[in-house]
Amino acid sequence: MEEPRKRARPGRAPAPTGRTSRPRQAEVARLAGVSQATVSLVLGGRKQGATISEETRRKVLDAVRSLGYVPDPAASRLAAARNNLLGVFSFTSTFPTDVQHSYYPFLVGVEQEAAARGYDLVLFTGSSTGGAGAAGPHALNRVRLADGCLFLGRHAPADELRRLVADGFPVVHLGRRDELEGLAWVGADYVSASKEVVAHLAGLGHRRIVLVREDDEAPASTDREHGFLKGLEEAGLPGGPAAVFRSADPEHDLTAERLRGWLDDGVTAFVAEETDTGDAWRALHSAAHFVGIDCPRDASLALLGSPPPDLSDGPAPTGFDIPRPQLGAAAVRMLAALVAGEQATEPLVACAFRPGTTAGPPPAHH
């Protein structure tokens, strides 16, 4: 006697003919042509913290319907087993211990928020893997000892992060990294803060302003330059390539002669970006000192961030302060949510304008 056919469950597409097992999330990922982590993000309903295009979202949902995928509650319970450990990986040669180091305030916020949420921290460094630049294909495997990992550093290896995300391991990058689909990140609003600094200089009467920055495509540098140029545009000041000086070695390339040339051309204000090296501000500061600029009488200086430790004892530069402890705490909140399988949303954190003492009206002859 022929067995009666089983009815498909309401709201679920029938399984492919001859199939006896439940469709898995990995199969959805293969059919949609995306990573398993991206499938998880789409099905979890997350809208912020990771960049997922509408086209990618549609492909995932089409694959879900095609396969008749539903979450496996047993797998969800297994994934929920945790050690209450969060990893922190720094892409510096050694983990910063100096309280004046630019990373230290991030770590203060990370530690305080982790403690408040009942997590212990496991610290990893680039030195344990031969340094960030020498990281091999399995260099970051140690972070899997934790339930999830927070990464901070100007040049984190994209392939390694992409592999962790593809494996579904909870990862948060401290700083914008929206070029890696599915990677969650928290960041400061450098665009708005940089625009505010330019608006302040323009309000003082400056009409020619130059930005000094390192020559790379780090997202934080790109955001600062974008905000700087947008600020010039909104103030009706000349922008374009002539307004931005990029150098892989600012301390070597930003010479006294170059600075004198800018001054002769009518530039009255100079802005430098902050990086973990501090090279741009240090080069600008040194060149101005060598030329004998009385700041702000002869020219104004501004810093998009905070000065490096070796220059922090002088006059407070005009610019903005990065809310590092708040960013560290926000990163932990997002990572804890990912570990728990919850929706993770963190807005950009605003930077506080710092009036400082290095900016004033341009010289009378300008």
Q: What is the mean pLDDT of residues 87-100?
A: 68
Q: What is the mean pLDDT of residues 55-61?
A: 87
Residue 26 has pLDDT above 90, yes or no: no
Question: Would you state the structure tokens that stand for residue 93, as one six-digit string?
Answer: 């040669």
pLDDT of residue 90: 81
pLDDT of residue 139: 60
Residue 65 has pLDDT above 90, yes or no: no
Residue 329 has pLDDT above 50, yes or no: yes
* Pair 60, 32: CB distance under 8 Å: yes
CA dist., res. 328 & res. 175, Å (int)? 10
Q: What is the mean pLDDT of residues 93-102?
A: 60
Poorest-confidence range of 55-59, 98-102, 196-200, 247-251? 98-102
- Which residues on neighbouring strands pair with residue 123, listed in sequence order? 88
pLDDT of residue 47: 47
CA dist., res. 105 & res. 62, Å (int)? 44
Residue 55 has pLDDT above 80, yes or no: yes
- One-character DSSP codes across 299-359: -EEEEES---GGGTTSPPPEEEE--HHHHHHHHHHHHHHHHTT-----PPBPPEEE--SS-
* Pair 116, 328: CB distance under 8 Å: no
Q: What is the percentage of the chain residues whose pLDDT exceeds 70? A: 81
Residue 226 has pLDDT above 90, yes or no: yes
pLDDT of residue 98: 61
pLDDT band at 313 (very low <50, low <70, confident <90, very high): confident
pLDDT of residue 365: 67
Residue 14 has pLDDT above 70, yes or no: no
Mean pLDDT across the chain: 83
Question: Would you state the structure tokens that stand for residue 149, as one six-digit string?
Answer: 């990992």
Single-letter code of the amino acid located at 295? C
What are the Cα distances from residue 119, in Å, to 146, 147, 148, 336? 10, 10, 11, 9
| Token pair 């220059």: residue | 311
For 258-271, what is each residue's pLDDT tens digit? 999 999 999 999 99
Q: Which residue has the higher pLDDT, 3 or 247?
A: 247
Beta carbons within 8 Å of 4's beta carbon, 6+ residues apart: none
Q: What is the mean pLDDT of residues 137-163?
A: 80
Q: What is the pTM for the complete model shown?
A: 0.72
pLDDT of residue 202: 98
Q: What is the percentage of the chain residues whose pLDDT exceeds 90? A: 50
